């Protein structure tokens, strides 16, 4: 993470505890409901994989990819879906929509619209790893989250990336551009 100061936001124990608590909150509402978890690719893959193992066994899983980020630290274009879940996994079903972060809300808003209007979902429950309301640009809220972050931080790790890098870090880190001559890590 050269050129950035980094600060640990959530370590492994806190992530595990947050996922356990989220699984306990969601599990009873999904049991026997014929629900489908739809993971937004690629950032939510790690979060979704860890969460669905904590949920009832009759849960289906499918994927949706919506692109908004280029190579920077802010969304650079309107959300465009280029990978849709199979209609049979969505139509008439309760959907657990999983994403890594809810910041501007544009990706989640478009995903919800696609699932409900284009693919005929009965309902959509949006669940995110990180809810960051400071950056909200459209009126949408997550139904649940592991972490609600009031600070406007740029995050990497546990699925979140910077230009495709750092998704594989097992913790959640905040990155800030390092001042000239400053040390690279604050952790």
Nearest to residue 90, comparing CAs of 112, 66, 105?
112
Residue 144's nearest CA partner among 107, 91, 86, 99 is 99
- The 10s digit of each residue's pLDDT in 50-107 is 999 999 888 999 999 998 755 555 556 688 899 999 999 999 999 999 999 999 999 9
> pLDDT category, 120, cuts 50, 70, 90?
very high
Selected catalytic residue, list 103, 144, 152, 161: 103
Write out pLDDT tens, residues 139-167: 999 999 999 999 999 999 999 999 999 99
Q: 48 vs 32, which has greater pLDDT?
A: 48
CB-CB contact of 90 with 120 (8 Å)? yes
Q: Is 103 a catalytic residue?
A: yes
- Other beta carbons within 10 Å of 113: 14
Share of the chain above pLDDT 70, in %: 91
pLDDT band at 2, cuts 50/70/90? confident
Q: For position 179, what pLDDT does the model report?
A: 72
What is the pLDDT at residue 187?
44
Mean pLDDT (whole number) for 161-183: 85
What pTM, to 2 d.p., does this model score? Answer: 0.90
Domain limits, the chain: 15-149
- Average pLDDT for the chain: 91
Percent of the chain with pLDDT over 90: 81
Q: Read off φ and ψ for residue 87, nearest 5 degrees.
A: -55, -35
Please report the pLDDT score of residue 70 as a whole number. Answer: 53
pLDDT of 48 over the 60 cut: yes
Closest among 74, 115, 73 to 95, alpha carbons compared = 115
Q: Which fold has domain 15-149?
A: Rossmann fold (3.40.50)
Tell me what pLDDT residue 46 has: 97
């Amino acid at each position: 993470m050269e050129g950035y100061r980094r600060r640990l936001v959530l370590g492994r124990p806190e992530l595990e505890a947050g996922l356990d608590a989220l699984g306990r909150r969601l599990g009873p509402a999904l049991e026997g409901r014929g629900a489908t978890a739809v993971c937004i690719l690629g950032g939510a893959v790690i979060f979704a994989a860890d969460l669905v193992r904590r949920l009832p066994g009759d849960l289906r899983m499918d994927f949706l990819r919506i692109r908004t980020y280029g190579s920077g630290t802010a969304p650079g274009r309107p959300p465009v879906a280029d990978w849709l879940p199979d209609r049979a996994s969505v139509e008439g079903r309760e959907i657990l929509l999983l994403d890594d972060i809810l910041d501007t809300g544009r990706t989640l808003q478009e995903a919800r619209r696609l699932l409900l209007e284009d693919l005929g979902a009965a309902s959509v429950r949006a669940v995110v790893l990180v809810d960051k309301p400071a950056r909200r640009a459209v009126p949408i809220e997550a139904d649940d989250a592991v972490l609600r972050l009031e600070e406007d931080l740029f995050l990497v790790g546990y699925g979140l990336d910077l230009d495709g890098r750092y998704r594989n870090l097992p913790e959640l880190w905040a990155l800030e551009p390092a001042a000239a001559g400053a040390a690279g890590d604050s952790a």
